[in-house]
């Protein structure tokens, strides 16, 4: 339901120019699209473009390849985009594919060719260079069991041109993708707005007796009717399920007196938002739930105070770990004496506070960027502290998406988070 191709050619032209400025002399860049991922039988999962390729072209169609060769003497050979050749039979089944002029309009590139012309073009260019940059997904937690297209493409390139030097493109694109252009910030702002609108509806309809999957269905519907989709598989977790960080089953009935944890976000024009909220299913927090909620909210608000240029995610994590320990003592989860005698290799807090509190957001919900990356204007990231007490059926996480700047600001400022406001919005008309 999300836009497959978006027409902002100036954005993609600027992105390519930034990359070209980082390349050594006479280097060639080659990036291939993602696979169509098989589901079963003759069915595929919904297609999602390689984020790096989309960042440079705006093209969301499969079987797309980009070549950048800025040192070529012929101006039209400096940038070449290859797209799938339209096939009448395929289009009868799947709908119309991009035409050359459409791909040119979207990407801002003049030289558009068909993918079946790629190898011949590549061979002509490779004799003019010895240094080739190839893309790969280097996200630290990404360990696919299958060889995805980028891996197969790299192996094929090395086999075809064994005497060339191949270099990693990912570090250069990581550097560029971290700091967002104004259009990118606007896409994520809009995604955040749509997420907030959806949350307000969820507050109105949530009640005991519903099922988790009904809430998920409402989120999906609200996103779809606004021309967007899920940025990631959402978490809709009630009661004890909220203590599982990425709970996915969504089959449990909502029970009176329990909490409902939502971790979800809209994707708008391929850019993600990420939001977490925790609400009382019956419409009112119990005293203990409110006590834990307010502790998490204090952590959330303190994290924002640390969102300043010069800090890092690791610094935020370290400070919030320390503050979370104080909150846990106040909540009676352990004592100061317990803290003094804890095993440093197995801190007491990890039983109730077991994940990091921040990550970058962009074309991917867990976007490029390390925990040691120094914050600078234009970066977008989340803060998501949480406390999880399985013995009490309490799992609370609160997450907002922020832009680093002078000052930094909250893209989800208008999404209800204060407990009094949440309770008020959940009052059902008589």
> Is there a catalytic annotation at residue 164?
no
179: which residues sit within 8 A by CB, 6+ positions away? 376, 377, 378, 379
Task: Give the pair of three-digit tokens for residue 101.
Answer: 């002029």
Question: Exposure of 45 by Cβ count < 10 A (0-12 exposed, 13-18 middle, 19+ buried)?
Answer: exposed
Verify whether residue 319 is a known catalytic residue: no
Is residue 286 within 8 A of residue 255, CB to CB? The reply is no
Is 151 known to be catalytic?
no
- Alpha helices by DSSP H, listed for 63-169, are 88-94, 100-107, 118-126, 149-160
> Is 349 noted as a catalytic residue in this protein?
no
**Beta-carbon contacts of residue 254 (< 8 Å; ≥ 6 apart):** 206, 207, 208, 209, 210, 211, 212, 215, 238, 260, 281
Q: Where are the alpha helices (DSSP H) in 2-50?
A: 9-22
Among candidate residues 151, 152, 213, 355, the one labeled active-site is: 355
Known active-site residue 87: no
CA distances from 88 to 4, 92, 157, 287, 425 (A): 20, 6, 31, 64, 52
Annotated catalytic residue within 222, 258, 263, 364: 263
Cβ atoms of 377 and 383 closer than 8 Å: no
Per-residue tokens: 67: 């070549």
Give dist(CA 218, CA 220) in Å, integer.
5
User: Is residue 213 flagged as an active site residue?
Assistant: no
- Measuring CA to CA, which residue among 159, 80, 89 is closest to residue 115? 80
Choose, from 55, 247, 293, 388, the residue flagged as catalytic.
388
Strands 112-114 and 79-83: parallel
Q: Which residues, 6 or more positions from 428, have their beta carbon under 8 angstroms from its beta carbon?
A: 204, 207, 283
14, 248, 366, 371: the active-site residue: 366
Q: Are 218 and 195 in contact (CB under 8 A)?
A: no
388 catalytic? Reply is yes
Which structure tokens are listed for 142? Answer: 């990404």
| 397 a catalytic residue | yes
Catalytic residue, candidates 246, 322, 338, 414: 246
Q: Is 42 a catalytic residue?
A: yes
Q: Could you say which of 113, 190, 277, 359 is catalytic?
A: 359
Catalytic residue among 135, 184, 325, 384: 384
Q: Choosing from 52, 274, 327, 364, which is the catalytic residue?
A: 274
Would you name the residues annotated as active-site residues? Answer: 42, 246, 263, 274, 355, 359, 366, 384, 388, 397, 399
């Amino acid at each position: 339901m999300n836009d497959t191709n978006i027409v902002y050619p100036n954005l993609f032209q600027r992105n390519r120019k930034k990359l070209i400025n980082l390349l050594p002399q006479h280097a060639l860049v080659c990036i291939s699209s993602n696979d169509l991922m098989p589901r079963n039988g003759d069915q595929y999962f919904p297609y999602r473009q390689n984020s790096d390729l989309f960042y440079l072209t705006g093209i969301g169609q499969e079987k797309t390849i980009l070549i950048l060769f800025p040192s070529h003497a012929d101006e039209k050979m400096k940038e070449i985009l290859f797209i799938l050749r339209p096939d009448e039979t395929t289009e009868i089944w799947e709908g119309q594919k991009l035409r050359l002029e459409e791909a040119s309009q979207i990407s801002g590139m003049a030289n558009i060719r068909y993918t079946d012309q790629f190898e011949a073009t590549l061979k002509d260019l490779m004799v003019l260079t010895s240094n080739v940059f190839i893309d790969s997904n280097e996200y630290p937690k990404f360990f696919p069991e299958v060889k995805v297209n980028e891996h197969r493409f790299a192996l094929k390139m090395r086999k075809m041109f064994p005497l060339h030097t191949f270099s990693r493109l990912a570090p250069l694109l990581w550097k560029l993708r971290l700091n967002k252009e104004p259009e990118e910030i606007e896409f994520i702002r809009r995604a955040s707005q749509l997420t907030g609108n959806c949350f307000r509806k969820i507050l109105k309809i949530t009640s005991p007796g519903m099922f988790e999957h009904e809430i998920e269905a409402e989120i999906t519907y609200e996103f779809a009717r606004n021309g967007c989709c899920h940025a990631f598989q959402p978490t809709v977790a009630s009661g004890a399920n909220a203590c599982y960080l990425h709970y996915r089953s969504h089959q449990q009935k909502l029970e009176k007196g329990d909490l409902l944890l939502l971790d979800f976000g809209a994707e708008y024009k391929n850019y993600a938002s990420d939001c977490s909220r925790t609400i009382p299913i019956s419409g009112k927090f119990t005293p203990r739930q409110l006590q834990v909620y307010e502790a998490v909210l204090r952590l959330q608000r303190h994290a924002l105070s640390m969102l300043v240029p010069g800090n890092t995610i690791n610094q935020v994590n370290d400070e919030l770990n320390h503050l979370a320990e104080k909150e846990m003592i106040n909540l009676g989860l352990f004592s100061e004496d317990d803290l003094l005698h804890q095993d440093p290799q197995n801190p007491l807090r990890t039983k109730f506070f077991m994940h990091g509190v921040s990550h970058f957001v962009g074309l991917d919900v867990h976007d490029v960027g390390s925990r040691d990356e120094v914050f600078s204007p234009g970066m977008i990231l989340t803060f998501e502290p949480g406390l999880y007490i399985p013995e009490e059926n309490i799992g609370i996480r609160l997450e907002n998406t922020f832009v680093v700047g002078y000052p930094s600001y909250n893209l989800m400022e208008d999404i209800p988070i204060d407990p009094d406001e949440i309770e008020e919005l959940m009052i059902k008309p008589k």
